[in-house]
Amino acid sequence: MFRTNMRVCVLLLVIFLLNALPPKIASAAPPQLSEAPLVAKKPKAAPGKSLHKIIDEQIQSEYKDLTKSVSTISSDGEFLRRVYLDLTGRTPSITKTREFLNDSRSDKRAILVDQLLASPEYARYTSQQLDVILMRRLSKKYINVSTWEEYLRKSVAENKPLDQIVREIFAADGSNKETQAAARFYLARAGDVNELTRDIGKIFLGADLTCAQCHDHPDVNEWKQDHYYGISAFLIRSFVFTDKKKKQTVFAEKAEGEVKFESVFEVRDKTSKGAETTLPVVFNGPKISEPAFKKGEEYQVKPAKDVRPIPKYSRRAQLGVSITSPQNRRFARTMANRLWAMMLGRGIVHPLDADHSDNPPSHPQLLEILTDQMISHQFDLKWYLREIVLSETYQRSSANDLFNKKSAEKLDDSRFTHAIMKPLTPEQFSWAVLQATGYADIHRKSLKKKLTEESLRKKLLGYEKRFVTLFGGLPGKPVEGFETTADQILYLSNDGGIQGLVMPSSGNTADRVLKVPVDQPDKIAEELYLSVLNRHPDQTETEEVTKLLQGKAGVERSQMVSDLVWALVMSSEFRFNH
């Protein structure tokens, strides 16, 4: 079926290129173009529009009669907060907020985006998001978690192509010091072939094949038991091996072992023709044949007691190559869709691991284009995220009059007519709280010349971890969508750690607010709102603050300011990236 899709997409690509090219060339070009290889064009050679413009065309062409119901472009404040959160995992400082709101350059959004993408915080936060996708917040097993995090952070910092990261992860066995960290993907799952098969399908192929372990998928026609075992076959010979002398655990491999499967339904109905097997294969791609060795000559290092065997031919070595091969469009498509969902709050195919014909994408053409561009731009993560955040689609406001009128059914999230409100990730939430209350600024100041992204994070890590524990879900089962629990709210309401942040302390937000002269109520409200919500207060809000503080002095005044900071930080406006 992917062949058919590919043809459709070639066609689309052609149509798109035809539109993009000047008419003269277009009339001459078709024969060559239609035969052009799918994965052609380097980005710079590609004519015409940037991806963010194409995204908007595609999304807007779907609006049709929705033109009136589409949200306006976000205000500068809304955009600033959103893009900071999405690209750096925190909210902007009050200084940055003022600077951006007062900046009158017409291209200030693009300039900001490039600044953020170049920041060390981008690398740290984006790698944390990749980590959650890849590791589902699994606990430590065999591999040190911080070396793994550092491996991902560095990879994102140098903008390593996504497919390369994935190949490195699949190639690592934990034996080599330099690549050891990347083996966490296998080893944290204890090398369990079923857990790995499930997660590889879900994460990289947009397919939760779990149900196809025991029989063809009961609800998804096109997902067969063969697909499940095609992936398992890459891993069936692998096992976790601990070298007692080196005190090192690695993912080792044997030279023999085949997957065996038969449908439990057929076994039950007695129609089974016995167990089948398959060579390694990714979905409907080519089966990977393997060299034959004479009996006894299959190994470089033969298996023996306490010896790690090394086969001459490694099945597992084929896995990364096969998954990331341009022939396997599912990979590029899934990555494009996942990253889209990360930024927009919802996949074009949704849920992200249910990419099959009974669950069509909301925008099939757009997804094909994103897939093509992901491949032609060689899985350039930074470029892709940049294009998304530059689009109008990303920059729409989350507010819309229709929501007020309760005739909101037209505003289905899947149409992307408005910005979907994304609950802050635990990492974003912790950093945003520390930024808004001024705690992060206190540490920035105290670190002085030693201030780096790394040194600052060390100071804030305790909070970050606490938030991840409370808001991140269970190991292996990270929170999806929005959930809220009593533990979380009781922590936010009563814990000393939070109360300490909102009480005045030299240089924090409450302290700064208290230092604004009492006879300048407008400035007081402004200091509060710019610090916490990154926008100016409106008149009602200014009046509210003024009234609350009126006639209060000393402890009373300081308590009211703390309570104001708390109320703003705990508001729904703060809890969501809107």
Partner 1 sequence: MRCDYACGTHEGLSRRSFIGGTTAGALSMLGFNGMTQVQASKKLASQQKQVVVFWLSGGVSQLETWDPKPGAETGGPFQAISTSAPGVQISELLPHTAQQMHHLALVRGINTKENDHGKGGYIMQTGRKKQPGFAFPYLGSSFSSHLSAPDSPLPGYISVGAGGSSKESTFLGPRHAPLVLSGGRAPSNLELHSSMQADRDKVRRNLRSKISRRFEQKRKTAHTEVYNESFDQAAALMSKRDVFDFSKFSDKDVERYGKHDFGRHCLMARQLIEKGVTFVKVGHTNYDTHSENFNFHIEQLGEFDKPFATFISDLYDRGLLEHTLIICMCEFGRTPRINSRIGRDHWGTAWSVALGGTGIKGGAVSGKTNETGTKVIDREVNGGHLFHTYYQAVGLDSTEEFYPNGQPIAKADPKAEPIKEILA
Q: Does 544 bind partner 1 (CB under 8 A)?
A: yes
Q: In angstroms, give the least distance from the CB of 116 to partner 1.
A: 24
Q: Does 275 bind partner 1 (CB under 8 A)?
A: no
Q: Does 499 bind partner 1 (CB under 8 A)?
A: yes
Q: In angstroms, give the least distance from the CB of 568 to partner 1.
A: 6
What string marks each residue from 239 to 268 as x (binds partner 1 by CB under 8 A) or -?
A: -------------------------x--x-
Instruction: Retrieve residue 572's tokens.
Output: 């729904």
Q: Does 546 bind partner 1 (CB under 8 A)?
A: no
3-state helix/strand/coil string of 241-271: EEECCCCEEEEEECCCCCCCECCHHHHHHCC
Q: Which stretch binds partner 1 (CB under 8 A): 106-114, 149-157, 190-198, 379-387?
A: 190-198
What CA–CA distance (Å, rounded) separates 169 from 177?
14
Is the Cα dihedral 329, 330, 335, 340 positive or negative? positive
What CA–CA distance (Å, rounded) separates 387 from 343?
11
Q: In angstroms, give the least distance from the CB of 530 to partner 1.
A: 15
Is the Cα dihedral 222, 223, 224, 227 positive or negative? positive
Q: Which is nearer to partner 1, 292 or 555 (CB)?
A: 555
Q: At what angle do helices 162-171 and 317-324 cross, to 10 degrees?
A: 160
Cis upstream peptide for 361 (omega within 30°): no
Which residue reads 């959650």 in tokens? 132
What CA–CA distance (Å, rounded) separates 525 from 461?
30
Q: Which stretch binds partner 1 (CB under 8 A): 300-308, 394-402, 431-439, 448-456?
A: 394-402
Q: Which stretch binds partner 1 (CB under 8 A): 33-41, 326-334, 401-409, 455-463?
A: 401-409
Q: In angstroms, give the least distance from the CB of 109 to partner 1.
A: 22
Which residue from 61, 401, 547, 550 is in contact with partner 1, where contact means CB under 8 A? Answer: 401
- Kindly identify the residues of this chain, within the stretch 503-522, that bind partner 1 according to CB under 8 A: 503
Q: Which is nearer to partner 1, 157 or 211 (CB)?
A: 211
Which residue from 14, 18, 101, 399 is in contact with partner 1, where contact means CB under 8 A? Answer: 399
Q: Does 567 bind partner 1 (CB under 8 A)?
A: yes
CB 335, CB 380: distance < 8 Å: no
What CA–CA distance (Å, rounded) separates 566 from 549?
15
List Cα–Cα distances, 384 to 79, 290, 415, 489, 532, in angstroms: 18, 36, 20, 36, 30
What CA–CA distance (Å, rounded) separates 505 from 57?
50
Which residue from 274, 481, 517, 551 is in contact with partner 1, where contact means CB under 8 A? Answer: 481
Instruction: Retrieve residue 429's tokens.
Output: 């939430």
Q: Does 496 bind partner 1 (CB under 8 A)?
A: yes
What string marks each residue from 197 to 216 as x (binds partner 1 by CB under 8 A) or -?
A: xx-----------xx-xx--
Q: Which is nearer to partner 1, 103 or 195 (CB)?
A: 195
Q: Does 103 bind partner 1 (CB under 8 A)?
A: no
| Nearest one of 14, 20, 75 to 40, comparing CA atoms | 14
Please, what's the b/e burial string for 88-97 (b: 16 or more CB within 10 A of its CB; e: otherwise)?
Answer: bbbbbbbebb
CA dihedral 265, 268, 271, 273 (to 10 degrees): 80
Q: Which is nearer to partner 1, 2 or 491 (CB)?
A: 491
Q: Does 276 bind partner 1 (CB under 8 A)?
A: no
Provide the 8-state DSSP code for 39: T
| Nearest one of 312, 321, 311 to 280, comparing CA atoms | 321
Q: Does 558 bind partner 1 (CB under 8 A)?
A: no
Instruction: Retrieve residue 447's tokens.
Output: 């670190």
Which residue from 486, 517, 539, 553 is in contact with partner 1, where contact means CB under 8 A? Answer: 486
Q: In angstroms, give the least distance from the CB of 404 to partner 1.
A: 5
CB 196, CB 186: distance < 8 Å: yes
Q: Does 301 bind partner 1 (CB under 8 A)?
A: no
Q: Does 564 bind partner 1 (CB under 8 A)?
A: yes
Q: In angstroms, give the least distance from the CB of 545 to partner 1.
A: 10
Q: Does 73 bind partner 1 (CB under 8 A)?
A: no
Q: What residues line the site for partner 1 (CB under 8 A)?
A: 192, 194-195, 197-198, 210-211, 213-214, 264, 267, 398-401, 403-404, 408, 411, 413, 418, 420-421, 423, 473-474, 476-477, 481-491, 493-496, 499, 503, 540-541, 544, 548, 559, 563-564, 566-568, 570-573, 575-576, 578
